[in-house]
Amino acid sequence: MSAAAHELFDYVIIGAGSAGCVLADRLSADGSNRVLVLEYGGSDRSVFIQMPSALSIPMNMKKYNWMYETEPEPGLDGRRLHCPRGKVLGGSSSINGLVYMRGAPADFDRWQEEGARGWSYADVLPYFRRAESRREGGDEYRGSDGPLATRYGTLENPLYRAFIEAARQAGYPASDDVNGYQQEGFGRMDMTVKDGVRWSAANAYLKPAMKRANLKVETHARVERILFEGRRAIGVRWSRGGSTQEVRAAREVILSGGSINSPQLLKLSGIGSADELLPLGIEMVAHRPGVGENLQDHLEIYFQQASTQPITLYSKMGLVPRGLIGARWLLKKDGLGATNHFEACGFIRSRPGVASPDIQYHFLPLAVTYDGQGLASEHGYQAHVGPMRAKSRGWVRLASADPFAAPRIQFNYLTHPDDRVEFRAAVRLTREIFAQPAFAPYRGREIQPGADVTSDEAIDAFVREKVESAYHPSCTCRMGSPSDPLAVLDPQMRVIGVEGLRVVDSSAMPSITNANLNAPTIMMAEKAADHILGKPLLAPSNAPVYAAPNWQSAQR
């Protein structure tokens, strides 16, 4: 052991991702607590990370991405899907699509019903507001002076407005703010961008906090296990460059590794199902069979239409135009380099009897795959569309007791029949929107799925072959009632059955939210900080929320 073996901190945070960065800031803010952050990745000082439109580049780099893959997925004809996770300061907030989307108010009320008391929408809205600094200003739903900057895109491309208008023509409402009073409907999509730069959790929270003498951040630090005395977490063993070190936590160890790495590290440290850990020779600390179970995600298809007018981003995909976009961004931090290009969105209900939206749209004035690998060979536009509340459940399990071995990941995508029914609705409802008069000046052929893909069987086959993850793994260390044998965390995010250990990240969600995960993960860390420090919680909000008056009898 090195001399660092005797270092003592009040709090040791594992992971400098969306949640860990928030905690690093909030727990060190008053100067009285010594805080250590251990992050396996390195610096985020790359133009590819900081330039919003370059988002697909770091997502495809081993330097910044854990590069996980699923097991062969039985519901997808045995395909393995990419499961990217950020391995860099800022975590996945440094390689994601920069979408700021909170989820539906009903999601958080459901969390409370699922045993996460104190996490209803009224309880969490004040923490969303505390986190946010919205360029367009705050109100009773939105924050105006928090660390996390959000803004709308410019909607310069006419296809964005055509999409919103087509949805209105199809009978759907417009929403002034899908993150505010009314999620249901179509409108502008917020992004985590400030002054043209990706506003990751590292830029928003961690870097300002790193100026403090009481906060220490170690990069390239691989945590191998959490250390216990009896059932109390007392520290962490980590390694870098062949040397192993141990640090002690006087108050708490906080695991913010994300929905893949957090359950993996709990299991390596002896917290999980005895049936899984004992055969691997791992000494049990607490039998919690829910660790690594309940894995959820969002799947989406790319519904692509050719454009008869050369106004899409396709003309900007060549080497010279891309170089000019990059040069302008480097000089002025504006132009097409300063947006994620997801500037319009929508939330709809798949059928009558669904109380709150369960299908989400991201609209893009380009036909391309999310990872940037599969560019269409013509002008086109697309909607990313998929059901938000899939019933299929997966797991994260250890491949071995070696902390350097990647875990096994199985989502069991589309194995629940209801998920396939919802995808059929998503395809047909999207086709109807794209057929509206607002798109008439631009509408060419349907590139994907293709006009002949109309029957249930044809849609199912297309989805199995082409569906992709929206990269929202979650729920593997879920909060719930301490009496629930499958809950991993209590509603204060403490690991049930041990002391001095919490998990704060998207794995703590009882069930997945009805939108992208970065915003709610940051909110959860904001609220967790108050729990950890023993501060009074922010007063619940009484802001009203929209409910479709005809939801029981009509789809729109």
Q: What is the pLDDT of residues 130-169, one digit of tens each?
A: 999 999 999 999 999 999 999 999 999 999 999 999 999 9
Residue 547 lies in a domain: no
Give the separation between CA 38 and CA 539, rounded to whole angstroms: 32
Cα dihedral across residues 440, 441, 442, 445: positive or negative = positive
Q: How many distinct helices (H) and strands (E) make up the chain?
A: 13, 26
CB 202 within 8 A of CB 89: yes
Whether 298 shows a pLDDT value over 50: the answer reads yes
Residue 125 parent element (H or E)? helix 121-131
Looking at the DSSP assignment, which residues form a beta bridge with residue 148?
Answer: 132
SS3 label, residue 386: strand
The reply to whether 1 and 122 lie within a common domain is yes
Establish if 553 belongs to a structural domain. Answer: no
Residue 3 pLDDT exceeds 80: no
For the chain, the distance separating the N- and C-terminal CA atoms, rounded to the nearest angstrom, is 64
What confidence tens digit (pLDDT) does each residue in 387-442 have? 999 999 999 999 999 999 999 999 999 999 999 999 999 999 999 999 999 999 99
Domain finish residue from 450, 466, 482 = 466
Which structural domain range is residue 456 located in?
154-188+299-387+414-466
- Residue whose pair of structure tokens reads 């860390």 in the numeric block: 525
Spot the catalytic one: 82, 379, 472, 531: 472
- Position 66 in a domain: no
Report the 10 Å Cβ neighbour count for 11: 23
In degrees, to the nearest 5, what angle opens at C-alpha 455 toward C-alphas 451 and 460? 95
Q: Per the domain annotation, does 554 fall within a domain?
A: no
Domain count, the chain: 2
Residue 7 has pLDDT above 90, yes or no: no
Answer yes or no: do 95 and 217 share one domain: yes
Q: Cβ distance 77 to 4 under 8 Å?
A: no
Shared domain check, 45 and 33: yes
Same domain (yes/no): 322, 375: yes
Q: Check which CATH number belongs to the domain holding 161 and give it.
A: 3.30.410.40
Q: What angle do CA 520, 512, 518 make, to 5 degrees?
A: 30
Contacts of residues 416-419 at CB distance under 8 Å and 24 or more positions apart, as own/partner, are 416/390, 416/391, 416/392, 418/391, 419/299, 419/387, 419/390, 419/391, 419/392
User: Count of CB atoms within 10 A of residue 247's CB?
Assistant: 24
pLDDT one-digit tens code per residue, 318-358: 899 999 999 999 999 999 999 999 999 999 999 999 999 99
The two three-digit tokens of residue 220, written as one number: 């390239």
Q: What is the CATH number of the domain that holds 216?
A: 3.50.50.60
Residue 222 shares a structural domain with residue 183:
no
For 65, 163, 232, 475, 524, the CA distances from 411, given in Å and listed in that order, are: 19, 32, 32, 12, 23
Do 255 and 326 sit in the same domain of this protein? no
Distance in angstroms (rounded) separating the CA atoms of residues 448 and 450: 5
- What's the average model confidence in pLDDT over 495-507? 98
CA atoms within 13 A of residue 122's CA, in its CB half-sphere: 9
d(CA 344, CA 342): 6
Which amino acid is located at 397 in the chain?
A: R
Are residues 210 and 348 located together in one domain of the fold?
A: no
Residue position matching structure tokens 């795959």: 369
pLDDT for res 370: 59
Per residue in 195-250, pLDDT (tens digit) is 999 999 999 999 999 999 999 999 999 999 999 999 999 999 999 999 999 999 99
In a domain, 74, yes or no: no
Beta bridge partners of 299: 469
46 vs 85: CA distance, rounded Å: 17
- Residue type at 251 in one-letter notation: R
What does the pLDDT read at residue 375?
A: 73
98 within domain boundaries: yes
215 falls within a domain:
yes
102 and 20 within one domain:
yes
Shared domain for 171 and 209, answered yes or no, is no
Task: Report yes or no: 514 and 104 within 8 Å, Cβ to Cβ.
Answer: yes
Same domain, 290 and 170: no
pLDDT at 190: 98
339 and 202 within one domain: no
Q: Does residue 227 form part of some domain?
A: yes
Reduced DSSP (H G I as helix, E B as strand, rest coil) percent helix, strand, coil of the chain, to 5 = 30, 25, 45
| Model confidence pLDDT, tens digit, residues 429-487 | 999 999 999 999 999 999 999 999 999 999 999 999 999 999 999 999 999 999 999 99
Tokens of 276: 């899984």
Phi and psi at residue 303, in whole multiples of 5°?
A: -85, 110
Confidence of residue 499 (pLDDT cuts 50, 70, 90): very high
Of 342, 364, 348, 368, the C-alpha closest to 425 is: 348
* DSSP H or E segment with residue 364: strand 359-364
The DSSP line for 267-316 is HHTTEE-HHHHGGGTPPPSEE-TTTT-SBB--EEEEEEEEESSS-SGGGG
* CA angle in degrees (0–180, nearest 5) for 323-327-331: 175
Looking at the fold, whether 240 and 362 belong to one and the same domain comes out as: no
The pLDDT of 526-547, averaged and rounded, is: 98
Whole-angstrom Cα distance, residue 60 to residue 415?
A: 28
Show Cβ contacts of residue 105 under 8 Å, excluding neighbours closer than 6 positions: 121, 183, 356, 545
Choice among 293-297, 359-363, 373-377 with the minimum mean pLDDT? 373-377
Q: Tell me the C-alpha distance between 39 and 42, whole Å.
A: 7
Q: How many CB atoms lie within 10 A of CB 417?
A: 10
Active site (annotated) includes residue 472: yes
Task: Find the mean pLDDT for residues 166-183.
Answer: 98
Q: Which residue has the tokens 């029981």?
A: 552
Q: Domain ends where: 466, 487, 510?
A: 466
pLDDT of residue 23: 99
Residues in the chain: 556
**Torsion of the alpha carbons at 188, 156, 332 and 43, rounded to the nearest 10:** 40
Residue 130 C-alpha from the chain's centroid: 19
Q: What contacts 212, CB < 8 A, 6 or more positions away?
A: 28, 31
Cis peptide before 449, with omega less than 30 degrees from 0? yes
Average pLDDT, the chain: 96
CA separation for the pair 336, 328 (Å, rounded): 9
